[in-house]
Structures are given as structure tokens and as C-alpha cells.
Amino acid sequence: MSVFARSPADRVVVVGAGVAGLATALRLAPRPVTLITASPLGAGTATGWAQGGIAAAMGADDAPSLHADDTLAAGAGLTEPEVALRVAEAGPGLIDWLVALGTGFDREADGALALGLEAAHSRRRIVRARGDSTGRTVLDALVRAVQATPSIEVLVAGLHGLMQDADGRVCGVVCERDGAAFRLPARAVVLATGGTGALYASTTNPRGALGRGLLVAARAGAALRDLEFVQFHPTAIAAGRDPMPLATEALRGEGAVLIDEDGAPVMAGIEGGDLAPRDVVARGIFQALGRGRTVYLDTRGPLGARMPQRFPTVFALCAEAGIDPAVQPIPVRPAAHYHMGGILVDAAGRSTVPGLWACGEVSSTGLHGANRLASNSLLEALAFAPRIAESIDAASAPASTDRPAPLPAIPPQDAAALAEVRGIMERCVGVVRDDAGLSQAIARLADLSERGSDAAATGLMITRSALDRCESRGAHWRSDHPGQLPARHSVFTPAAADAPCAVQELTDA
């Protein structure tokens, strides 16, 4: 049966085909689901590029409470303890679920899961697959499961906006394909559209990671939270590629060190050293670069020699750049990697707008706080997917709209405007921020937004949130406000659906 023939009273639309969207679609079975993906299934998603693994307390010396404690410590005062513990407790069962779907995780000689160590984890708890190809392995298993599930239909299209009934409840999506818009009514919509990294000139994210889900949710009136917290991965490979290839944090867990061109350790004297939280390491590298140094990840010696087996993805990326990591250090620099902020959701993944749920990076669940703990991203999406499915099953269907608004015209993407936005975000809303740079960015992004740039509109929301937070916390570092204020979330709701960047309020939450 065609997706257009399905009854809106039954259909759930899931937008996004990374781990969050695929897991949610599978958890909703046998309810009819239309899965919307901007690229063919299995392509164009950040999940497939995830190298490190999935954090889960699987070791004999580990426990969910310890995992939760590490998550809280990394979150810099904004992680919600009950969310951290609930997600950590779900971890082992989620690994078992993935194994049952055919995910081939790496194992020791005795058959036990091979567990890696990453920064800010107190135990070895990173479950990996094919060395550093965890994301691709998990994605492939989920794609196979989706393709074998009759209740899930896949539609390749772009997301333009959300449909709402007279009461403001979300009742479907407006999509675009080949320059034309069309409606897809539904009883519920789940946004699993990923992050915002492609708003930056230096990023590890796919080109499509422009925060589209944030923008359409804002235009529907959904509350957004903590948008200023953008995580910059410390060790993107500086080899002239866009997006930038990633040198997984697990390399430092296995003994790689950060050095400058003279061989001096970059993180010397900093608490945690090379295994400090990501925000600390990113700032350390950023500051070294600002002093005119060149920063390298040094894997020379035994670690580099076994990289083809232990880290085949990074080894291949190095080979493409003409680097032999056994004898040459890898040039690295921070790059936009993960957005901790997002659509404010509750324990069931519900947004503040009826009929709209969010899962994965596009959401703000309370897990990551101001600085995501390494390898908690895939875990979060997997943990919230079944909760979202249960919540949708229990929700009533929306009322139908008798007179839907006319379909919008789909303007072509302005490549020049997008390039300008990426440059502005890189210069002014990056690893270290200040009032002057943020104010300059707001002025130009507002102008580009008014001229029709959706990327500028999304960047403007992030930048305004960054200007409003006059402190340094986690991944948000203000050189003009290096101290901390009492911990608070920043929450705002757009003033009107047609003015997504107008901040109505910024409150403690």
C-alpha cells in the first residue's frame, strides 16, 4: 500500500533515518510508519560515521550508577540525575536488543564483549564493532531490520514543515521532493533529524546536518532548550576535507597523545590530560592553535602499527590523506560535532506541542547537559525510542483539518548564503566566544534570515542563546565571562510560528 493511501488515523511519520529514526520506527511496529529520509536508506546520516561505540555498563567492575555518575560529571551541572540513571540502566538491555537484530559487536577470545575506554569514563564500557566502525555496523543492522518490517515504508524526501490543526496540534508533515511540496497527514510525528554541525565551516557532520528539525519545531511553537551548547570534537583530522574525517576519542583511550610540532604535550598541566572531557581538550587544542602551534595526535609506534586491525576506519582516513600513523603524527583540530541542545522533551520524548515527539540529537532530554559524555549519543537515541513508541500508542489521534493551508513554494537553496553562515558560525560561535563576536554574528545572521536563509535562522537561534548565557559552562565558553553562575537551563519558545527566531522568554528551568 502506498504511503499516500495510508489512513492518517493510523500512520506515524518518523523523519530521519539514523539510529534514532530507525530504532523508533522498529519500536512502533506493527503500527504503520512512514519513515522519511533525505537520502537513500543507510546514507547521509551521522550514525554511519560514529566511530567510538555505545557506552553501556557491561563489565564486571561496572554498574549503571557509575555510568550515570560519569555522565553527570561531564554534563557540567545541567545533566538531570534521574535521566542519566534511567538511560544508563537501559544500556545493557539495548546492547542485547542490537545483538538480537544481528549487530556484530567485537568480542574477546572468551566471547565476552570487547570494552574500550574513552575520555571521562571511569571504566572500560565502550561497546564497539569492527574496531572503529560501530556506527556503520549498527546502522546496517537497523536498516536490515527496517527493510524486513512490513509496517514500515520508506519515503525519500526533504522535510519542509509541520502540519497543525486548529488547536495547534501537529497532524502531519509538509515534505518536498524535486522542488515540489506535498502533505503527509499523520496521527503523530517524530523528529529524528540529527544535529547542526554543518552550520559550521569545520565539522565532522554530513552536509545535511543543518538543524532542520529544530527550525520546523520552532515554527510550530515548540520550546527549545540549551541551544548554545555545541560540542566540538577535539580531534578532527586537519587534512583539507569537508566534512572533516574524525580520529576517534578511543585512540587516546588506547594511549595516543596530543603534541605540538616540537613534540611537547599539548594537555600537560591540565586535569585529566589527554583523557579530559571533550570541551576541555577542545579548548586546549584551540588555545594552542591560537598561539600559532600545530597540533598532532601522536599514534606512532605500537599503537600506529596495530591501527589497521584496531582502528581500520581511522587508518583508512589517514591513508587517504597520505599519513602513515605508525610513523607520522596525525594533524588535528576541533570541529563542530554534536549539539547538546534541542527540542525540549519529557521522559517519553514528547515536545511541548501536542502530536510532536523528538528523538536523538535533535532533542534535549536532560541526559547530556552542557557537555555530552563520549559514546552516550547512540545510547540516548536507543533508550528513548521505545518510550516514544509507548507514548504514541497511548495518545489519541488528532482532529482532521478541513481547510489546510496552501502548499508553499520551495525556493532553491542559496549556496552563497549557506557558505556565509558557516563562516560566521565558525568565527563567532565556536570553541571560545565573546560578546563582540556573538553580537556581530547576530546582526548578520538576522539579515540573512530575513532574506530567506533557513540555515541563518537556525544559526541565529543558537547564537542568541550563546549571547544570553553570560558564563562559561561545559561546551559553551565565554572569554568575557570565564566564571560560572548558578546552574540553569536556557529555555525559549518562539513568539509566533512565522517568526521562529524571535525569543519570547529566556527563563530558568
Q: Which residues of the chain have pLDDT under 50?
A: 1, 402, 496-509
H or E segment and range at residue 342 = strand 342-344
**Which residues 6+ apart lie within 8 Å of 215 measured at CB?**
454, 457, 458, 461, 500
DSSP 198-221: GGSSSBSS-TT-S-HHHHHHHHTT
Q: In what order do the strands lie in the sheet with 158-164?
A: 158-164, 170-177, 180-185
Q: Are 131 and 12 in contact (CB under 8 A)?
A: no
Please check whether the two domains, 9-196+340-394 and 414-481, share a CATH topology: no
Helix, strand, coil share (%) of the chain residues, nearest 5: 35, 20, 45
Can you tell me which residue has the cell 520524548?
Answer: 349
Q: What 3-state class would DSSP assign to 139?
A: helix
- CATH tag, 414-481: 1.20.58.100
**Residue from 278, 310, 469, 478 carrying the catalytic annotation:** 278
> What is the value of pTM for the model shown?
0.92
Amino acid 503: pLDDT: 34
Q: Which of 204, 198, 199 has its CA nearest to residue 314?
A: 204
Rounded Cα–Cα distance for residues 369 and 228 (Å): 11
Q: What 3-state class would DSSP assign to 370?
A: coil
Amino acid 371: pLDDT: 93
**Which residues 6+ apart lie within 8 Å of 190 measured at CB?**
12, 13, 14, 15, 21, 24, 349, 357, 358, 359, 388, 392
Q: pLDDT, tens digit, for every residue of 361-399?
A: 999 999 999 999 989 999 999 999 999 999 999 998 776
Can you tell me which residue has the cell 546536518?
Answer: 209
Please confirm, yes or no, whether 278 is among the known catalytic residues: yes
Amino acid 42: pLDDT: 86
Rounded Cα–Cα distance for residues 72 and 368 (Å): 8
Domain ranges for the chain: 9-196+340-394, 235-335, 414-481
Amino acid 409: pLDDT: 81
> What is the assigned CATH class of domain 9-196+340-394?
alpha beta
Q: What's the half-sphere exposure (Cβ side, CA atoms, 13 Å) at 460?
A: 24
Amino acid 8: pLDDT: 67
Amino acid 401: pLDDT: 53
- CATH tag, 235-335: 3.90.700.10
